[in-house]
Amino acid sequence: MGGDWKPAEAEKELRTRAAHDGERLHFEFRWDQSNPGGWIHDMLVYHEGRWQRFADPSPWVSGEQTRTGFYEDRLSFFLDDGSVRGFEEFAGWLTAHEGMRSLPSAASADDVEAHPHYGERLGKSDIRKFLPQACAGEWWEGHWREVRPPAELRAMKARGEFLDLAMWRAHRSDPVGYGTDAYVLDYRHADDGRRTYTSQNWAADTGPELMFAPDVVEGGALDYHAVAAGEFPTQGSGVYALTPDVTVPFDPDVAEWEGAMIPRRPVHEPTGSAADWTASGTWTGQEWVVTMSRPLSTVDSSDTTQLVPGGTYLWAPAVHHGAGKRWHWTGYTHRLGIGVAPEWTADLPPPLIAHEVDHAPTAASVDWGALPTHTTPLVFPGLQSWTDLVDGPNAEVIRNLETTMWALHGRTSD
């Protein structure tokens, strides 16, 4: 995808309701999305005699008439208990830095792999989201080559100086009824445990390891040509993900035919801290309706922000459509009150209240129609990074936390 791509909508409206019953936090999210197929993701296609990966972007992202890939729709949000300096003021902009993948300044795979921390210790080949405080120097500098030693990073994590990152994924988590869970410190790390998705090995000449059971999906695979023409399996009830109940070993005599299409990412139920969030999404034809739920207090507090009734936290959402990496609409930081109304100042967007409800073991147990809707704008961040902000014309007030993204974007009178 070219770096000059911009979405047709520079801004997207997110409509949120939140509730808690003293034990669990529940969200309902709604946003307009008229393009179908956002539940199809990262496919292996048998095309012209060999297997090929059709990943991204989706045609409504790139503007190309011929489909070049499939990428799921997603919703994500950061949670923080106030421990991360600058997050209340600058939300996700705080985590995007020079050298990060998908930016023009992206570090090369060779440079990352040669780095003592990112390459040798973590085994990474790219730079993803991280906090500037994870790096040496002034709190705002954030040069990835100067990442702090492991002992200092462990101490930061133990103090809660990380951003909890929850995500609903239309393909890689929704079919098994969960979200995914990560945290951002020196990198975007997955929470402990088994996450909802993995990757199957494949080769152009031998194909993938797995396919759909032929008695569930005829021919052991989806039909690329039909799906590319808009004949998508029904979201929610159709078969389009490699869940354990529909998966069998790949048989080329069954599933190697022109246009045969098999997901590269098998999905399964998560375990451990990675299983904190249950989630479900429904595409109505014009909008996504997504619910998410987790215990206020989780078993593993080392990678998850702990919540208590009466507490105030920080929350910043984002919506992703048809592409990965930087191509999303991102939100500002809101104060989130668990049964209380947080203080509201003009330089921040309106706070969100998780209203107290009677016993609700699942998000489906909540009477959402009885709760008020919180509406907030999400904006396309383009290629702007934290590095641009702290080195730009507003550098001094940003470094001193004397302004916010809400104020910089001229929204204080909204």
> 354-376, pLDDT tens digit by residue?
999 999 999 999 999 999 999 99
Same domain flag for 320 and 176 = yes
Same domain flag for 272 and 357 = yes
- Asked whether residue 231 is domain-assigned, the answer is yes
Same domain flag for 108 and 167 = yes
Report the chain's mean pLDDT, rounded to a whole number.
94
- Assign residue 361 the CATH number of its domain: 2.60.40
Same domain flag for 301 and 224 = no
- Asked whether residue 118 is domain-assigned, the answer is no
- Asked whether residue 152 is domain-assigned, the answer is no
Same domain flag for 177 and 323 = yes
Nearby residues of 30 by Cβ (< 8 Å), 6 or more positions away: 14, 15, 16, 287, 288, 289, 290
- Asked whether residue 17 is domain-assigned, the answer is yes
pLDDT confidence bin for 1, thresholds 50/70/90: very low
What CA–CA distances, in Å, run from 95 to 163, 187, 396? 9, 9, 19
Residue 196 predicted with pLDDT over 60: yes
Count, in order, helices (H) and strands (E) of the chain.
Answer: 9, 21
Residue 3 predicted with pLDDT over 60: no
Number of domains, the chain: 2
What CA–CA distances, in Å, run from 112 to 129, 193, 326? 14, 26, 19
Domain of residue 364, residue span: 11-38+73-112+123-135+160-197+267-408
- Asked whether residue 142 is domain-assigned, the answer is no
Boundary (domain end) residue, out of 265, 299, 319: 265
Quick one: 408 exposed, middle or buried, by C-beta within 10 A (0-12, 13-18, 19+)?
middle
- Asked whether residue 393 is domain-assigned, the answer is yes
Same domain flag for 286 and 231 = no
pLDDT of residue 2: 41
What are 282-324's pLDDT values in tens digits?
Answer: 999 999 999 999 999 999 899 999 999 999 999 999 999 877 6
Same domain flag for 350 and 372 = yes
pLDDT of residue 102: 81
Boundary (domain end) residue, out of 249, 265, 281: 265
- Asked whether residue 401 is domain-assigned, the answer is yes
Same domain flag for 287 and 392 = yes
Which contiguous run of DSSP H or E holds residue 152? helix 150-158
Same domain flag for 184 and 319 = yes
Boundary (domain end) residue, out of 245, 265, 285: 265
Same domain flag for 241 and 385 = no
Same domain flag for 179 and 209 = no
- Asked whether residue 153 is domain-assigned, the answer is no
